[in-house]
């Protein structure tokens, strides 16, 4: 925290404060929400520490560094490849996330959480999806915010007599607001470059047809083509126009509440009809008054029982908690926001679907600016800080390369087993939604298998096959060990509405397991 209290002054600051300022209580609830998500994410990923994050899994460190990792990407998790080492780093990240949750040494906890989140994501980029990018972006801006000023251990240990402001307007609050706006605005811009979204209006049909994200209700809605067309139009309009209502300078509270409710309903709907990554505008949702009331009640309960609470805080030191707008931090955050803005425009300009629609002369001018030597020389900043953003969510078009994997293992006794189904008889039938949920228990595994069928899959198959051979043969003896395996992808590419869908079985990788006894 900084050393004195300052309130926004001047005509322009008075106008900007309602639009880009934050209530300190809102920031506190925002902190709590993000910390809960961090802890939940760690618990989910911890179930696959060995498989997804150690050298004994599907992506050893040597393979990651030599085949996939960008030179400027870094990871603390690369210090050791043993599952125990990964477990220690996971535990450390969890403890720091708890510190962020309760607001103890909040600024340090936010910085450390951001560092360990980037480290975790860089350890295995093949299991990342759009929500991971969102968490990374939110945590980055959180490092510059006074998250511990309310509802925190830090505030309980506040030794300063100076009153804290109710709201603040800083470069970081401005950046966080625009960051959330960018998620939707650039997502809409990417979508607009594809005729699948407009004028064909078939995007929601393709999204609900993608089996890796399939949900029962979504499959049912495919029987109502007019509703799918309406949903496509509504999504596109909402992503373009909806976030702008956050910046209306009159009746700001009303328009913000209406916008929040609308986007909450959108994301709830998306999650119900599809298991696709859900983006929750946490910064705005958590400013909702009922949620703030819960936080206030909790804080008042602690405040009215200080003697009991004091027994837990006795070992902790009192420190001053004071909030002000730092000129240096404002300059830094605004420069970083400008960099993020340029990067988002570069990502959009680099989209193949956009280039195909532009006049060659216009495209050349855009490339001349976006791929200039000056901007290229600054690329390392985005890689080092993981500010390399691209909000192409179901864009330019939803995926159509659908299908499922079948992994045939040949045992030493000559029999064949299905390695994806725990050694059962080989089954080529399309998995049901229930069976897919068993095969891919979380979004990390769904994303990994999606990537196996993309260009990066050629780099992943050898290590995945070695992992399958090694783990099976460690658990079986004699003639029940694997002699070889073959990975197939049954291609069921989604076709336009009304057309016949073809199914094609393709062999992707063959592996001898004789050396994995």
- Segment of 88-92, 178-182, 256-260, 267-271 carrying the highest mean pLDDT: 88-92
Write out the E strands in 15-160.
22-23
Report pLDDT for 299. 57
Q: pLDDT (tens digit, 9 = 90+) per residue, 38-81? A: 999 999 999 999 999 999 999 999 999 999 999 999 999 999 99
Report pLDDT for 1. 46
Q: How far apart are CA 35 and CA 112, in angstroms?
A: 12
CB 400 within 8 A of CB 212: no
Of 200-204, 279-283, 392-396, 433-437, minimum mean pLDDT range:
279-283
Report pLDDT for 358. 73
Report pLDDT for 282. 42
What's the order of all strands across the beta sheet hosting 504-512?
Answer: 416-418, 403-411, 482-491, 504-512
Half-sphere exposure of 475 (CA within 13 A, CB side): 9
CB 35 within 8 A of CB 98: yes
Of 21-25, 328-332, 508-512, minimum mean pLDDT range:
21-25
Residue showing tokens 């780099």 = 459
| Percent of the chain residues past pLDDT 70, beyond the cut | 85
Mean pLDDT of the chain: 86
Strands 403-411 and 167-168: unpaired
Mean pLDDT in residue range 354-383: 83
Nearest Cα neighbor of 32 from 79, 85, 97, 94 is 97
Q: How far apart are CA 248 and CA 240, in angstroms?
A: 15
CB 182 within 8 A of CB 339: no
CA distances from 319 to 23, 113, 160 (A): 22, 22, 7
Count of residues in the chain: 517
Q: pLDDT (tens digit, 9 = 90+) per residue, 1-14? A: 444 444 445 667 77
Q: For 71, phi and psi rounded to 5 degrees?
A: -55, -30
Residue 293 scores a pLDDT above 70: no
H or E stretch including 294?
helix 289-303
Peptide bond into 199 cis (omega under 30): yes
Residue 116 scores a pLDDT above 60: yes
Mean pLDDT in residue range 80-106: 95
Is residue 113 exposed (0-12), middle (13-18) or buried (19+ Cβ within 10 Å)?
buried
Q: How far apart are CA 441 and CA 41, in angstroms?
A: 14
What is the rounded (10 degree) CA torsion for 36, 42, 43, 45? Answer: 140
Q: pLDDT (tens digit, 9 = 90+) per residue, 27-50? A: 998 999 999 999 999 999 999 999
Report pLDDT for 4. 42
Q: Where are the alpha helices (DSSP H) in 168-305?
A: 171-192, 203-209, 216-221, 225-241, 252-273, 282-285, 289-303
Q: How far apart are CA 138 and CA 325, in angstroms?
A: 20
For residue 180, the Cα-to-chain-centroid distance in whole angstroms is: 13
Residue 315 scores a pLDDT above 90: no
Residue 477 scores a pLDDT above 70: yes
CA distances from 190 to 182, 238, 242, 505 (A): 12, 14, 16, 32
Query: How many other CB atoms are found less than 10 A from the CB of residue 214?
Result: 22
Across-strand partners of 507?
Answer: 488
Across-strand partners of 403?
Answer: 491
Query: How many other CB atoms are found less than 10 A from the CB of residue 97?
Result: 23
Handedness of CA 245, 251, 252, 255 (dihedral sign): negative
H or E stretch including 239?
helix 225-241
CB 61 within 8 A of CB 207: no
Mean pLDDT in residue range 130-150: 93
Nearest Cα neighbor of 184 from 143, 237, 232, 228 is 237
Mean pLDDT in residue range 310-324: 67
């Amino acid at each position: 925290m900084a050393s004195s209290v300052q309130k926004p002054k001047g005509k322009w600051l008075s106008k900007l404060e309602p639009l880009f300022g934050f209530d300190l209580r809102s920031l506190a609830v925002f902190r709590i929400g993000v910390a809960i998500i961090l802890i939940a994410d760690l618990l989910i990923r911890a179930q696959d520490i060995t498989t997804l994050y150690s050298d004994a899994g599907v992506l050893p460190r040597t393979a990651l560094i030599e085949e996939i990792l960008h030179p400027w990407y870094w990871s603390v998790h690369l210090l050791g490849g043993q599952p125990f080492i990964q477990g220690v780093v996971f535990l450390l990240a969890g403890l720091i996330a708890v510190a962020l949750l309760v607001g103890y040494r909040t600024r340090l906890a936010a910085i450390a959480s951001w560092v360990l989140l980037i480290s975790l994501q860089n350890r295995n980029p093949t299991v990342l999806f759009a929500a991971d990018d969102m968490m990374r972006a939110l945590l980055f801006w959180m490092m510059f915010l006074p998250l511990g000023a309310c509802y925190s251990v830090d505030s309980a240990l506040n030794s300063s007599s100076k009153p804290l402001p109710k709201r603040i307007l800083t470069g970081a609050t401005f950046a966080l607001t625009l960051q959330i706006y960018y998620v939707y605005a650039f997502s809409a811009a990417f979508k607009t470059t594809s005729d699948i979204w407009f004028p064909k209006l078939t995007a929601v049909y393709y999204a609900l047809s993608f089996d890796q994200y399939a949900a029962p209700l979504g499959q049912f809605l495919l029987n109502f083509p007019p509703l799918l067309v309406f949903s496509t139009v509504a999504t596109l309009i909402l992503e373009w126009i909806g976030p702008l209502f956050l910046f209306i300078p009159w009746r700001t509270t009303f328009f913000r509440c209406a916008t929040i409710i609308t986007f909450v309903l959108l994301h709830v709907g998306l999650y119900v009809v599809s298991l696709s990554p859900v983006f929750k505008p946490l910064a705005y949702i958590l400013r909702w008054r009922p949620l703030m009331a819960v936080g206030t009640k909790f804080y008042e309960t602690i405040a009215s029982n200080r003697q009991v609470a004091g027994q837990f805080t006795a070992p902790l030191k009192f420190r001053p908690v004071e909030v002000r707008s730092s000129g240096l931090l404002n300059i830094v955050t605004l420069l970083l926001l400008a960099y993020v803005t340029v990067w988002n425009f570069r990502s959009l300009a680099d989209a193949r679907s956009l280039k195909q629609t532009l006049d060659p002369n216009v495209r050349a001018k855009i490339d001349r600016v976006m791929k200039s030597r000056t901007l290229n020389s600054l690329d390392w900043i985005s890689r080092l800080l993981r500010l390399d953003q691209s909000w192409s969510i179901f864009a330019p078009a939803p995926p159509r390369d659908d299908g499922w994997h079948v992994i045939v293992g040949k045992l030493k006794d000559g029999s064949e087993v299905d390695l994806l189904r725990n050694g059962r008889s080989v089954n080529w039938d399309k998995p049901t939604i229930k069976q897919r949920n068993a095969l891919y228990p979380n979004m990390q595994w769904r994303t990994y298998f999606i990537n196996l069928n993309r260009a990066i899959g050629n780099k992943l198959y050898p290590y995945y096959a070695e992992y399958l051979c090694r783990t099976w043969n460690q658990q079986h003896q004699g003639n029940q060990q694997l002699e070889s395996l073959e990975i197939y992808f049954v291609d069921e590419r989604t076709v336009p509405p009304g057309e016949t869908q073809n199914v094609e079985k393709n062999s992707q990788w063959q592996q001898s397991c004789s050396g994995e006894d």
